[in-house]
Amino acid sequence: MPYQARVLVSQVIPGPINDVWDTVRSFDSIDSWHPGITDCTMDEDRSPVQIGAVRDFQAGDRTVRERLLAHSDVDQYYQYTMEDGGAKTDYLSEFRLIPITESNQTLAKWFAHYDVEEEKRKEEAEHLNHVFSAGLNNLRDVYSE
């Protein structure tokens, strides 16, 4: 069985889960809370919380296209795949919020697994770790103010 690379980044966000979810729940909101992403647009045939919705955005000099596979306001998470993952194939990512009930804070977890050639495994993992960390760290900073 082939090895599938995995990246998981988590962060405590010092805000109530419903507030954090309101910030991130819409699939097209990523450019409003992630400092490395700009110009997020949606294909016009679906809402940004509808399964099958497609978003395009700029990440540096690269255009990224992703498709929403699952979305839950009840469980406060969504899953998506990349339409073109470059070196990565069979890509699945999940962004999930979990309440920290004792302190009324939020645990954010951003996870991905994918297939990649062995010689690119470290480079791709470092890239995703950087992307996920930048977004979660920015959310932490926004809710720390």
Question: Whole-number mean pLDDT of the chain?
Answer: 94
CB 112 within 8 A of CB 93: yes
Per-residue pLDDT reduced to its tens digit, 4-24: 889 999 999 999 999 999 999
Name the 3-class secondary structure at 121. Answer: helix
Question: Which residues lie closer than 8 Å to 119 by C-beta, 6 or more apart?
Answer: none
What distance, in Å, lies between the first and last C-alpha atoms of the chain? 47
pTM attached to this predicted model: 0.93
What's the CATH number of domain 5-144, 3.40.50.10320, 3.30.530.20, 3.90.1520.10, 3.30.1330.10? 3.30.530.20
Q: At which residue do the structure tokens 């540096």 appear?
A: 60
Quick one: average pLDDT of 130-144? 97
Per-residue pLDDT reduced to its tens digit, 69-92: 999 999 999 999 998 767 788 899
CA 3 to chain centre: 22
| Total number of residues shown for the chain | 145
CB 58 within 8 A of CB 66: no
Question: Which residues lie closer than 8 Å to 42 by C-beta, 6 or more apart?
Answer: 27, 28, 48, 53, 54, 55, 56
- For the chain, the structural domain boundaries read 5-144
Q: Which residue has the higher pLDDT, 112 or 87?
A: 112
